[in-house]
A and B are shown apart, each in its own frame.
Chain A
Amino acid sequence: MPFPGEKRWLLLGVALAILASYFAPQFNRYYLGVAIDVGIAIILATSLNLINGHTGQFSLGHAGFMAVGGFFSAWLSLKAGVTADAFWFFPLALVAGGLLSAVVGLLVGVPSLRLRGDYLAIVTLGFGEIIRVVAQNTEAIGAASGLKGIPKLTTLGWTFGFAAVTIYAITALVNSTYGRGFIAVHDDEIAAESNGVDTTRTKVTAFVTGAFFAGIAGGLYAHHKQFLSPTGFDWLKSIDIVVMVILGGMGRTVGVIAAAILLTLMPELLRDFSEYRMILYALLIILLMLLRPAGLFSFNLKRRKHS
């Protein structure tokens, strides 16, 4: 899983983002929209990969954190009444959404990360549902009808800029001395604990960081679609992101990014078969688990043992 020269990737990503936003007005609007979807999916999948892949904690509530960030930043920009030319407001609103999402992640993570495996999966699913129910009953964010008329602030540049930052931050975190703790927890929690890794703290860190970036992705999504509804963040949305991580191979950053791109483009290419999309996803999950549990893109010669 080594990912050398992550700084280079960051610079490359940011440069591409600036270049892309320079040329963006000449692109077809449809392709532009799809490209932004891809960027958001990359952020979501990379951030979930930190929790599910690198740290080995199975979270099924990523859509909940996306909702927190999305609703909060959208609410901010609606409150502030910003228009499309507010350049510096947008990243601040995104980060604010991400921070609130991280706080919620902390509240969720501290109690539930004492649990393992399937219990954790269920609890995170439950928290995702609770977030959705709360959103549905909160008047300030439009309750069940959701938020409408969110200014269109998401551009290709911001999306890929944040995607590059996400990839950089998470790979740098995992490859740091501290971040080796994530891998240790993934490989064997008890062994990690007895080697002096504070496992609960490590898991909470992964969870909070993942939630932060999911919140940012939510904000980008909100200002891209210009409409948010609580029902859009149910657990099937979480499953979408989980499938990206599984398909890419848990803990394999490049694979997960590739899977995020592929799974976002696929429904666009297979528009005529849209009613079979989820059936296909489900089959994909089962077959991958039976045949290639390390992910579709796991051609690495250096095989990491999956516990």
Chain B
Amino acid sequence: MDWLQQIINGLGLGAIYALIALGYTMVYGVLRFINFAHSDVLMLGAFSSFYIAPKIEKVMGSQSLLGCILVFILAAAICACLGMLIERLAYRPLRNRPKLTVLITAIGVSLLIEFTCQNENVFGASPQPFPKLLPEKSIHFGNVILSSNDLLTVTVTIVLLAAMWLIVQKTRIGTAMRAVSYNQQAALLMGVPVNRIISFTFGLGSALAAVAGILYAIKAPGIEPLMGVQPGLRAFVAAVLGGIGNLPGAVLGGVLLGLLETIAGGIPGLSNYRDAIAFGILILILILKPAGLLGRSSVEKV
């Protein structure tokens, strides 16, 4: 087994997990709950690009870079709207209710999206071939193969992470997001439009999920309504691993999980347990360091 190859594959997968984990972490940061429907927004992102891509292709010609960027932007925009809609309809009415109620609702929303999309009148349950957005090339370095898809994934992820960091740290709205995350009541008293900020956070997170969904679909080109579940759960584990609510932590967790999964998948005997590895890590982390690798533990005030 070629370790370098495994590491490259792992990084490609890890970058996708990092993007999804970023969305989980941002929503958790401002609202303190796990948005179970995040993984379904990812799936919807993949499906929107599935329907958009042929239309773009007609206008821009097939497999053009500009067309590809346009597909990404449109799918991200659609999912951003969907994310905000979900927040508005399902989560906002429950803002001051017990956390458990919100969690159960999130599970309900997730199931609703999944099973509605599985209906034969919507997308149907069987996998559909995802179109090629860009010509696929692979570069050989001796035994190691570097595919253009992995390169695309890593590049897109790095660009988006940088953009995210700039938004959260340098802009006014980012400052407001951090304020809401720190203390919603106090932020409200200081004149931060909390509802709008939460809506924006959901939009941003969902747009990231959409991009991750397309990248995932390029990597594993058979898309179906349940495609978001596995990467979604793993990205959630990644977010917890890095310290939920912590942006760099989400990226670290995503990359680590991607690497671990790919490497474990290459070891015979362990490969059958791939699905269990992420959860095994999650349980270990929660027992040993419940705040995650980069998280700070907080004491509950009475």
Contact = CB atoms under 8 A, between A and B. Distances in A.
Interface of A: 56, 58, 111-112, 114-115, 117-119, 121-123, 125-127, 129-130, 133-134, 136-137, 190, 239, 242, 246, 275-276, 278-279, 281-286, 289-290, 293, 306-307
A279 B107 CA distance: 12
A127 B286 CA distance: 13
B287 A117 contact: no
B100 A285 contact: no
Q: Which 9 A-B pairs have the closest CB atoms?
A: A285-B108, A126-B279, A282-B112, A282-B111, A278-B115, A286-B108, A133-B276, A289-B105, A130-B276
A278 B275 contact: no
Given A118-B99, A275-B119, A293-B97, A246 B112 contact: no
B283 A126 contact: yes
A4 B112 CA distance: 38
Given A115-B290, A134-B276, A285-B104, A123 B109 contact: no
B275 A129 contact: yes
A279 B290 contact: no
Contact of A283 (B112, B119, B233): B112
Interface in B17-56: 33-34
B282 interface: yes
Contacts, number: 108
Nearest to B121: A275
A277 to B, nearest CB: 8
Contact of B279 (A119, A130, A137, A283): A130
Contacts of A242: 104, 107
Contacts of A285: 104-105, 107-108, 111
Contacts of A119: 240, 286, 290
A204 B280 CA distance: 20
A290 B112 CA distance: 15
A133 B272 CA distance: 8
B104 A122 contact: no
Contacts of A115: 286, 290
State the main secondary structure of chain A at its contact with B: helix
Residue in B99, B236, B282, B300 with the greatest tally of chain A CB atoms within 10 Å: B282
B296 to A, nearest CB: 16
B103 interface: yes
A106 B253 CA distance: 29
A129 B302 CA distance: 35
A122 B112 contact: no
Interface of B: 33-34, 90, 93-94, 97-105, 107-112, 114-116, 119-120, 233, 236-237, 240, 272-273, 275-276, 278-280, 282-283, 286-287, 290, 300, 302
A282 B103 contact: no
A290 B276 contact: no
B279 A129 contact: yes
Contacts of B107: 239, 242, 285
A289 B283 contact: no
B300 A289 contact: no
A279 B104 CA distance: 15
B158 to A, nearest CB: 28
Residue in B98, B104, B272, B283 with the greatest tally of chain A CB atoms within 10 Å: B104
A115 B240 CA distance: 13
A58 B33 CA distance: 14
Nearest to B28: A118
A126 to B, nearest CB: 3
B100 A117 contact: yes
A153 B147 CA distance: 56
Nearest to B108: A285
B34 to A, nearest CB: 5
Given A111-B287, A123-B283, A286-B105, A133 B275 contact: yes
A50 B300 CA distance: 26
A137 B105 CA distance: 33
Contact of A290 (B93, B99, B110): B93
A127 B101 contact: no
Given A119-B286, A126-B279, A133 B273 contact: yes
B280 to A, nearest CB: 7
B101 A293 contact: yes
Contacts of B279: 123, 126-127, 129-130
A281 B118 CA distance: 14
